[in-house]
Amino acid sequence: MKVLVIDDEAALADSISCFLQLKGHDVTVFRDGEEVLAHLTERDHENRYDAMLIDIFMPGLEGVELIQMIRRALVFTKIIVMSGQAERNGSQLADLVEEYDVSAVVKKPFKASELLQYLEA
């Protein structure tokens, strides 16, 4: 599976990437949403992903805005949201799941096996 990981926490993003690669996935990591948008539009036919793991709260372009933009172009890509503030922003995240067809919201910190389960579902 071709997976895009977007998280401004470098250590977490790198850990997720290493784990998923060990499980046989092709992983690309970005630290912010603006870089992702540029990447997705520069060579649209080569930059398709089966799934995206997106941190919801990042500096600059936040995950909610990024998901809105991605959904306009990539309707069928599986999106999993990661958040360290899932409880505090529960209603906002629930709306996001409903409106933008987000597959799951994973609360940080999480177990790698939990993330893999959502990804491969």
pLDDT over 80 (residue 115): yes
CA distance 119 to 121: 6
Q: Supply the pLDDT for residue 47.
A: 63
pTM for this model (two decimals): 0.89
111 pLDDT more than 80: yes
Q: What percent of the chain has pLDDT over 70?
A: 89
Selection from 45, 110, 60 nearest residue 84 by Cα: 110
Q: Are strands 51-55 and 26-30 parallel, antiparallel or unpaired?
A: unpaired
- Look up tokens 């910190």; give the residue: 109
Least confident of 5-9, 19-23, 73-77, 89-93: 89-93
Give the chain's domains with CATH numbers: 2-113 (3.40.50.2300)
- ∠72-77-112 over CA atoms, to 5°? 135
**Is the pLDDT reported for residue 45 higher than 60?**
no
